Amino acid sequence: METKRLCSSPPKAMLLVFMAFFCSSGTAAAPAMFIFGDSLVDNGNNNFIPSIARANYFPYGIDLGAPTGRFCNGLTVVDLAARRLGMKFPPPYLSLSAKSSMMLRGINYASASAGILDETGRHFGSRIPFDKQIELFAKTVSEQLPIMIPDPEALSEFLSSSLFIINIGSNDYINNYLLPDLYTSSSTYSGKHFAKLLIHKLVQQIKTIYSIGARKILLAGLGPLGCIPSQLSMSNITSGCVNHVNELVIQFNQLLIPAMIRLNSTLPGSFFVHQNNYDTFFDMIQTPTKYGFSVSDQACCGNGRYGGQLTCLPLQNACSARDQYIFWDSFHPTQAANAIIARKCLTPTNGDCFPISVNQLAEL
């Protein structure tokens, strides 16, 4: 798939805001952060490819002052984690030149509509599937980073000390398995066997990332997709979540943890941490006032039932009380919700990360 700049560059104002938010204070425990995933963590890669899945228009980024390509009113969960860790925000890969020194802070390879499977999200047009993201990482390590870190031992140390975040898999359900008119996966596999297929593929992909040099890896589990506005809008329910969708997600998550434990025990020098995104997010939806929210099922910026039938459109008026909403658009959390998820993985005890927090992983 072609991933060079196929579309015009973002406006100068967008880039200025984007650069301003790269900065962070404090001393970082890890030298860099490398991010793989989908629109939950994409910070601008899809700005540079011909895709319907883009967030380079207002009101996206309304709380940053301008749109950056993040699918949020503000910062994503990895942005917030990086800030708490004292790290600068990794730039999107497609925004960089081959010799950019900004690569030394890490790189974000994530792409909206991408999945574990290459075919996932194809109805949105161009995207960077996980396999392709890994190819770009391999190119970074073999061709681009050596320009700045020519000593192989120093480069190996840089990679092994860096933090790797993998947040992928949601689209394999909402933009593949749950769209039977566009994809054959649900007629080919039962929910259980589809989860096994995804985990098997994911494990092979993680092993490839490890072989390139990654050692400290955070694996994010899937959230309760049956509770997002887009899924609510397609169902006949009038309250609660779409149970059969959440059951599919649970099958995936239940296989992810033992897979992570096996990777920890079989890949020398590696340390994997699992982030449980399901339980806290589900609790937020069931008891929103406990977390400071008043709206748990409606998109702040969306259209139709629950704001989920058509996602946030260019120049659409978003809700004003954004911190009161769990969902920003038809698919994605608000910055306020992202902050809670990030904080729960940074908490050393009683948090959502296992067996240690992301802070502790960064300090290893």
- Measure the CA–CA gap between 43 and 104, rounded to whole angstroms: 17
332 is known as an active-site residue: yes
- Measure the CA–CA gap between 264 and 285, rounded to whole angstroms: 32
| Residue 326 in tokens | 């769990």
329 is known as an active-site residue: yes
Q: Determine which one of 38, 172, 329, 352 is catalytic.
A: 329
Torsional class of 350: left (φ above 0), alpha (ψ -120 to 50), beta (otherwise): left
SS (H, E, C) 131-174: HHHHHHHHHHHHHHHHHHCCCHHHHHHHHHHCEEEEECCHHHHH
How many Å separate Cα 261 from the centre of its chain? 22
- Measure the CA–CA gap between 110 and 131, rounded to whole angstroms: 11
- Measure the CA–CA gap between 306 and 308, rounded to whole angstroms: 5
Burial degree of 277 (CB within 10 A; 0-12, 13-18, 19+): buried
**Which amino acid is located at 35 in the chain?**
I
222 with 170: CB under 8 angstroms?
yes
123 is known as an active-site residue: no
Longest Cα–Cα distance in the chain: 60
Q: Determine which one of 126, 162, 330, 332 is catalytic.
A: 332
109 with 36: CB under 8 angstroms?
yes
Q: Determine which one of 39, 113, 162, 296 is catalytic.
A: 39
Q: What does DSSP assign to residue 179?
A: -
Helix (H/G/I), strand (E/B), else coil: 357:
coil
Angle at 37 between CA 300 and CA 308, to 5 degrees: 25
Q: What is the CA radius of gyration of the chain?
A: 19
- Measure the CA–CA gap between 90 and 108, rounded to whole angstroms: 6
Active site residue ranges: 39, 329, 332
